A and B are shown apart, each in its own frame.
Chain A
């Protein structure tokens, strides 16, 4: 059962690689977070830790509902064209994602224990998500796509933590959630301001001085 969820996480992350428009990217982030929620919920059921239930509920509330909603609102508000600005076209991105998967599988093979934690498949998915998030931050032009990249990295780190030690301590987790939520709020506001000021959100044009 857990394997199916991990495969779904992988597939939703590949969906991010081929997304060409902002709504598609947000939708795939939502799928990814939902899979993460399911994974956490299943671990919570298996290990009967009440803290994990709360964390799963928080994932659902924040990453599946609230953050995608905020991002949708921002793209509705700024009314720029919804292209996310690709440096590398979808096919090449997909190919890069494949290479990342392979590399993270290699790394996970070195790190994983033969039995018990950390499991190879979870480590593979976690490393892959982190590298894919970094990829999105580097190779997409618009600020919103880079926010999604950051959130994907955060999701990957969460999965990494639960792969290595069955989850971070409860209070650390809560703090991280509020951190993420606040950062999305602030970055969303920031994107909105950038758009008002410059009439676009392409971060590569920001390095030029405004006259």
Chain B
């Protein structure tokens, strides 16, 4: 029986830490563009503001619209439970593996797309159709990356992947594929833009356009958590070395520094990519994610060749 205290602590770390990554990315982006940019803590202020506001729900909305944010948030938290953060093991050992993680994300996305269709606003329908288009392309690439990791490590259980696998070419290629997919999943620059609400280009924002107040805050928090989960996975696959978890204070400090350092590197890479590329046409998404798919296949090939 897993310790409930540890589960609560684990989820708490995820919820508290996740918005910081978004703040960090937007800070780096703004600094790269020679702007001062918003504060690192701005996502927290946004969440606090949204939680304290009242909300407006369309008269035509059914229970799906009301329930969907909770489903999305719950699926993000559930995914977070599979990924180790401050211990070598995940808080729920043996419950879910990498493949389960993919489909738990898909569950949240399914509910979000349903909710966007529910109010029958034209933007919602457009947003969910685009989101489904992109995710249908992203999922095979993600699966391919997972298969490569499976071929390499012999397991899809996330803590054992973290524990057993060293640096390898197949791991790096799989991490590249995961990175490209994470760009798509977190609705970042070449495929989507988080910064604008321009009606022609928005994907994720179009889906959540009808939401306000607390429910919007839940959806935003869920997307922060999802982003953190994906970045953690990439970080762990690129830099698989985990310092030993001893109780000595210096050791704990070192492992925390290592943990944050990796995340900062990934965040910087994302920010750099976002600043340096232009938004793609929607149908170029097939090229972008097709490339991610092929990278996943290269990773599998390298795993078969044993390099």
| CB <8 Å contact, B290 and A91 | yes
Residues of A within 8 A of B302 (CB): 3, 7, 121
- Asked if A121 meets B295 with Cβ closer than 8 Å, knowing A18-B290, A91-B287, A101-B301, the reply is no
Closest chain-B Cβ to A77's Cβ sits at a distance in Å of: 25
A6-B169 in contact (CB<8A): yes
How far, in angstroms, from A90 to B293 measured CA to CA in the complex? Answer: 13
A-B contact pairs, 26 of them (CB 8 A): A3-B302, A3-B307, A6-B169, A6-B307, A7-B169, A7-B173, A7-B298, A7-B307, A10-B298, A11-B176, A14-B291, A18-B287, A18-B291, A20-B287, A90-B290, A91-B286, A91-B287, A94-B287, A94-B290, A94-B291, A101-B297, A101-B301, A120-B305, A121-B302, A121-B307, A124-B301
Q: What is the bound-complex CA distance between A205 and B286, given in angstroms?
A: 30
* Interchain pairs with CB closer than 8 A, number: 50
Contact for B169 among A4, A18, A90, A124, CB less than 8 A: A4
B172 interface residue, CB < 8 Å from A? Answer: yes
Chain B residues at the A interface, C-beta cutoff of 8 Å: 168-169, 172-173, 176, 286-287, 290-291, 294-295, 297-298, 301-302, 305, 307
Verify if A98 is at the interface (C-beta below 8 Å from B): yes
Q: How large is the interface on A (under 10, 10 to 19, 20 to 34, 35 or more residues)?
A: 20 to 34
Tell yes or no: A97 within 8 A of B by CB: yes
A contact face: mostly helix, strand, loop, or mixed? helix
Give chain A nearest CB distance to B191 CB in angstroms. Answer: 15
B295→A11 contact, CB < 8 A = yes
Closest 8 CB pairs of A and B: A3-B307, A3-B169, A90-B287, A7-B169, A121-B305, A18-B287, A94-B290, A4-B169
Are A98 and B294 neighbours in the complex by a CB distance under 8 Å? Answer: yes
Interface residues of A (CB under 8 A from B): 3-4, 6-7, 10-11, 14-15, 18, 20, 90-91, 94, 97-98, 101, 105, 120-121, 124
Residues of B within 8 A of A97 (CB): 294
A7 to B301, CA, bound (A): 10
Q: Point out the residue from B168, B173, B287, B307 that lies within 8 Å of A11, measured CB to CB.
A: B173
CB pair A11–B290 under 8 Å, yes or no, is no
Complex CA–CA separation, A3 to B298 (angstroms): 12
| Chain A residues positioned under 8 Å from B168 (CB to CB) | 3
Closest chain A residue, CB of each to CB of B286: A91
Chain A nearest CB from B172 CB (Å) reads 6
Q: A98 touching B297 by the CB < 8 A rule?
A: yes
Given contacts A7-B173, A20-B287, 6 further A-B contacts (CB under 8 A): A7-B172, A7-B302, A7-B307, A14-B294, A101-B301, A124-B301
- State whether A4 touches B301 (Cβ < 8 A): no
With the chains together, A186 CA to B139 CA distance in Å? 46
When distances are taken between beta carbons in the complex, the residues of chain B under 8 Å from A120 are 305
**Using Cβ atoms and an 8 Å threshold, which residues of chain B touch A6?**
169, 307
Bound complex: CA of A95 vs CA of B290, how far in Å? 9
| Measured CA separation A98–B290 after assembly (Å) | 11
Residue of A nearest to B293 (CB): A94
Report how far A11 CA is from B295 CA in the complex, Å.
7
For A20, what are the chain B residues with a Cβ–Cβ distance below 8 Å?
A: 287
Contacts of B291 in A (CB 8 A): 14-15, 18, 94
B294 adjacent to A94 (CB under 8 Å): yes
Measured between alpha carbons, how far is A98 from B294 in the docked complex, in Å?
7
What residue of chain A has the Cβ atom nearest to residue B291's Cβ? A18
Task: Indicate if the CB atoms of A105 and B176 lie closer than 8 Å.
Answer: no
In the complex, A25 Cα to B297 Cα: how many Å? Answer: 22
Chain B residues closer than 8 Å to A11, beta-carbon distance:
173, 176, 295, 298
Q: With CB as the reference atom, state the residue of chain B lying closest to A15.
A: B291
How long is the Cα–Cα vector from A161 to B227 in the complex, in angstroms?
Answer: 45
How far is B287's CA from A20's CA once the two chains are assembled, in angstroms?
10
Provide the residues of chain A in CB contact with B297, threshold 8 Å: 98, 101
